[in-house]
Structure 1
């Protein structure tokens, strides 16, 4: 009886194992192809740029530190990003988190207000005629130009920085949302009328899904502008934050610290953009880029 059972189990295992191995191999092959196509070119170009930078910085009369010197000078900052000696003497991790906290507040407000105003402008011809010219004028004001006004209004640096982020990020969100709402296919509107959808149902089942690719385009632009704005604003308002860290390092002639901070700024900005892009792909099922 045992021999017969084993003779049945072995063929089944022989059939199942190759199929599982094939799936595993396909997954590894897919990961390998993705690495070669997307990651490897960036690594090669980055290595070449680092090599050129190293050679140029090692030449006589060079004023900027080489990559090897940057790593040597900032090694303690790299390996211990969360030290805290009190005041503004904290690690790069805390500096980044402080900046991200301000971005989170300002950007969240911009998303709520921007989408709401974008829907209003996209739906109403009168709102578009009345508000669009004002939006077009205000959006051309440089972000830092708002800082003195916000400091005068709030009398505090933190809410002033949040306001600068808000006023910087809101314009692409408003504009792209309004364009998305105006471009809803007429067939969708007709179906909504036939089904007698109320305002809430039309908003959640027709308007938002149809305009989502446009909205997320505005959100991706907005998050990038938010990160740019806070780094610049923190140079002026002071306190804990990556922007003030860069300015403080400049005043102390610590160029290597500035270079390291710029690397952190670039990486965080890249990750923020990819995060919004990932959420966009989930919500729109890959229909937006």
Structure 2
């Protein structure tokens, strides 16, 4: 039997209350979110402070962040105005650029994946086409613009072609590498199950190569956004690239800074969207 001293010590010991599992998970997720958000905010705040200090004095050639906000407040608060022609809000400028990117990039995805599968599957195609691809992919995107203008005689399809020819190379190369790196065990299982060509393509080839394919798609969408901004500076019309060039000709430096901020944000969102789709399809095996 317990003696009196032992019983008193047990009763005096404070009882530990176990935290609910839901609460523990919530705080763990909250700390993780803070860890991802706080460092970028701190770095961004420091950079903005340095920028403000350097550009606030007399003789500064670039506007400070406070001046950029003041000068472009109308563009920020009214992004959907439309006065006709190229005099439209920032939202319409970005949407016009995104429309061109969507068409050119989609074409690059279809053609690039098809050619990548061909080069990855066929040794003959690899030897015949790969040297050509390696040469053409080194041509700067804007170098294709005069040729496309001569062929299409119109700025819009020319810009779409530049996007297509810019995005297609990383898609082809990454897809072909992914196809060539399919484990031999997968191929042997497909032979045992006696898959036909279509079944092998959908059930073995694409799932196994998907991480490589989506790596190429992410590179391609980033290059597409870079190319359209540069191409629109030359073709004119409505688009974020032409907006930047027109602002430069009008000496509206604050407008240029605002446009660059939007370009960066949209490019980041495009990359994250492709990465999210890739993680869903590959179940987290593609690089985020």
With the length of structure 2 as denominator, give the TM-score of the two structures. Answer: 0.92
- Does the residue aligned with 1:63 lie in a helix, a strand or coil? coil
Aligned to 1:183: 181
Distance (whole Å) between structure 1 residues aligned to residue 24 and residue 266 of structure 2: 32
Deviation of 1:288 after TM superposition, in Å, equals 1.0
Distance (whole Å) between structure 2 residues aligned to residue 229 and residue 155 of structure 1: 19
Distance (whole Å) between structure 2 residues aligned to residue 43 and residue 32 of structure 1: 16
Aligned to 1:71: 69
Deviation of 1:58 after TM superposition, in Å, equals 1.1
Aligned to 2:131: 133
Aligned to 1:230: 228
Distance (whole Å) between structure 2 residues aligned to residue 250 and residue 209 of structure 1: 47
Distance (whole Å) between structure 2 residues aligned to residue 30 and residue 273 of structure 1: 27
The one-character-per-residue Cα deviations of 1:136-162 (angstroms, maximum 9, x if unpaired) are: 000000000000000000011000000
Gap regions ≥5 residues in structure 1: 1-17
With the length of structure 1 as denominator, give the TM-score of the two structures. Answer: 0.91
Deviation of 1:77 after TM superposition, in Å, equals 0.4
Deviation of 1:29 after TM superposition, in Å, equals 1.7
- Does the residue aligned with 2:178 lie in a helix, a strand or coil? helix
- Does the residue aligned with 1:259 lie in a helix, a strand or coil? helix
RMSD between aligned residues: 1.2
Deviation of 1:28 after TM superposition, in Å, equals 3.5
Distance (whole Å) between structure 2 residues aligned to residue 28 and residue 259 of structure 1: 39
Aligned to 2:104: 106
Equivalent pairs counted in the alignment come to 270
Deviation of 1:123 after TM superposition, in Å, equals 0.1
Deviation of 1:225 after TM superposition, in Å, equals 0.1
Distance (whole Å) between structure 1 residues aligned to residue 48 and residue 30 of structure 2: 25
Aligned to 1:5: none
Aligned to 1:61: 59
Gap regions ≥5 residues in structure 2: 1-17
Residue of 243, 246, 260 corresponding to 2:244: 246
Distance (whole Å) between structure 1 residues aligned to residue 251 and residue 235 of structure 2: 20
Distance (whole Å) between structure 2 residues aligned to residue 259 and residue 30 of structure 1: 38
Q: Which runs of 4+ in 1 moved over 3 A?
A: none
Distance (whole Å) between structure 2 residues aligned to residue 129 and residue 200 of structure 1: 25
Deviation of 1:218 after TM superposition, in Å, equals 0.1
Distance (whole Å) between structure 2 residues aligned to residue 172 and residue 50 of structure 1: 35
Aligned to 1:212: 210
Distance (whole Å) between structure 2 residues aligned to residue 140 and residue 270 of structure 1: 24
Distance (whole Å) between structure 1 residues aligned to residue 74 and residue 26 of structure 2: 37
- Does the residue aligned with 1:88 lie in a helix, a strand or coil? coil
- Does the residue aligned with 1:184 lie in a helix, a strand or coil? coil
- Does the residue aligned with 2:285 lie in a helix, a strand or coil? coil
Deviation of 1:22 after TM superposition, in Å, equals 4.6
The one-character-per-residue Cα deviations of 1:251-288 (angstroms, maximum 9, x if unpaired) are: 00000000000000000000000000000100000011
Aligned to 2:14: none
Distance (whole Å) between structure 2 residues aligned to residue 141 and residue 207 of structure 1: 30
Residue of 162, 165, 173 corresponding to 1:164: 162
